[in-house]
Structure 1
Amino acid sequence: MQAYVEVIFRTIAAFILLMITSRILGKQTISNMTFHDFVSGITLGAIAANLAFNDKLNHWLIVVSLLIFFGISFLVSKIAIKNRAWNRLVSGTPTVVIENGKVLEDNMRKIRYTLDSLAQSLREKDIFNMEEVEYACLEDHGKLSVKKKSEYEWVTRKDLKLHAAAVQSFPVELIMDGIIMEDNLAHNGLTAQWLEQVLRQRGKSVSDVFYAVRGTQNQLYFDYYRDRIDTPID
């Protein structure tokens, strides 16, 4: 009887600890799971399972192990937010697999992504003809993002009033978390001086910008640290 009671209490403790640690680690762990999130989730689950059922191990040692691993995972996440290079290392980076309607075989081989997987992911987005795709990008959480060619896109209310313009280029990230993406600018014939001049015209500086991107129609989008939203939706 005592063994059953111990298992009950250990299971409850494991559940509570997992709920608390998952809550602190954030929604990223249960939504768009990256390499780091996958490893964290699997390991925390395994440690919690031992806490619940493995009575051969001291429960306090398992709790300490779980808390240490949680601390490591939390620290890695915090560093990844501040350091883009570290974030690329632990989370991976997106990979373009279709560009200008052409499948990039070398990129697919590098990430061991097969044509069958590509076709399946496209079908899940109701795309059965690959010729409809202008760009496709495999995100670091394993999901495929797709930009259709203009002639295959759905008509919107805006399209009924304005003629849809042809796709000019793949979106170019200019600023991320207040840092200018120098490589992106150089690869697209842009300069930091041009970007700073555009911001000055808007009465802003680079330090004011959280995220900036040049869209497919060469339009510029800026998201500032101060969004002037009093009660943002969680």
Structure 2
Amino acid sequence: MSDFMEIIVRTIFAFFLFMVIANFLGKQTLSRMTLHHFTATVTFGSITANLAFNLRNEAWQVATAMITFFCIAFSLSIITLKSRKARKWLSGKPTIIIEDGKILEENLRLLRYTLDTLNHALRQKDVFDIQEVQYAVVEPNGEISLLKYPPYRYVTKEDLNIFIKEGNHFPIELIMEKQILDKNLDNNGLTKDWLLSELTKRGLTVTSVFYAVKGTNGQLYFDVYNDRLTSPIDNETGHR
């Protein structure tokens, strides 16, 4: 096999092996990463690259290293689930940087946070006046969480004594690209006859519907293929 073809085959193998490992490690490893998630992801990336391009090493050798590291990372994930002490050591712990409106300079120093970094993080949370902040915490994944003083917090329906209607549910997808989602109907006590009846009321057929969903408030939404827009907005110009 030529080097060119070997790189292609190894790259395909590396991709699917990484996908399998990432699936076992879980979504958290790929989203908001803590310290050990970050370490695992970077190391997996390096090993995957070696598996794809480093022809001096046999594929099975690099794959063995990758699987071994997966076992380590997976074991650490199990340990962090079961042990709070291990979780603090492996994933880090939240650090308070503003307490009762006062900046904790020592904690900033430990995190290697500058005032510029702090102000940048606050602006990303739509806070431009630091005096609005009662508490600020840097989470293990590096994100900052805020608690504003009461006058600066968002008003909720509970604050206004507005009655919150019960009975909202998760949206139920009914049709997707002309296909009725029978499993969703069955799981939610709905029937195909009911759905066909609703389509008939609106003068629609299953094959004319691109997407149909029963929303959180129980209302039905249908999007059809023929939207009857005579002058759609141009994606590039933003004009009709």
| Equivalent-residue separation in structure 2 for 1:72 and 1:124 (angstroms) | 35
Counterpart in the other structure of 2:78: 78
Counterpart in the other structure of 2:119: 119
Structure 1 position 99, deviation (Å): 0.7
1:49-79 deviation line (CA, Å, top 9, x unaligned) = 0000111111110000000001001001101
Tell me, yes or no, if structure 1 residue 93 matches structure 2 residue 93.
Answer: yes
**Structure 1: unaligned runs, 5 residues or longer:** 163-229
Counterpart in the other structure of 1:171: none
Amino acid across the alignment from 2:50 = N
Query: What SS is found at the alignment partner of 1:97?
Result: strand
| Equivalent-residue separation in structure 1 for 2:118 and 2:74 (angstroms) | 33
Counterpart in the other structure of 2:208: none
Identity of aligned residues (%): 45
Counterpart in the other structure of 2:57: 57
| Equivalent-residue separation in structure 1 for 2:155 and 2:78 (angstroms) | 42
1:115-163 deviation line (CA, Å, top 9, x unaligned) = 111100100011000000011000000000001110011222221229x
Counterpart in the other structure of 1:206: none
Amino acid across the alignment from 2:99 = E
Query: What SS is found at the alignment partner of 2:56?
Result: coil
Query: What SS is found at the alignment partner of 2:98?
Result: strand
| Equivalent-residue separation in structure 2 for 1:67 and 1:86 (angstroms) | 23
Counterpart in the other structure of 1:33: 33
| Equivalent-residue separation in structure 2 for 1:53 and 1:103 (angstroms) | 49
4+ long deviations beyond 4 Å: none
Amino acid across the alignment from 2:109 = R
What does 1:1-234 correspond to in 2, within 5 Å?
2-161=2-161
Query: What SS is found at the alignment partner of 1:158?
Result: coil
| Equivalent-residue separation in structure 2 for 1:35 and 1:160 (angstroms) | 41
Query: What SS is found at the alignment partner of 1:12?
Result: helix
Query: What SS is found at the alignment partner of 1:145?
Result: strand
Q: Give the aligned length.
A: 164
| Equivalent-residue separation in structure 1 for 2:91 and 2:139 (angstroms) | 10
Normalised to the residue count of structure 1, the TM-score between the two structures is 0.68
Amino acid across the alignment from 2:7 = V
Amino acid across the alignment from 1:141 = N
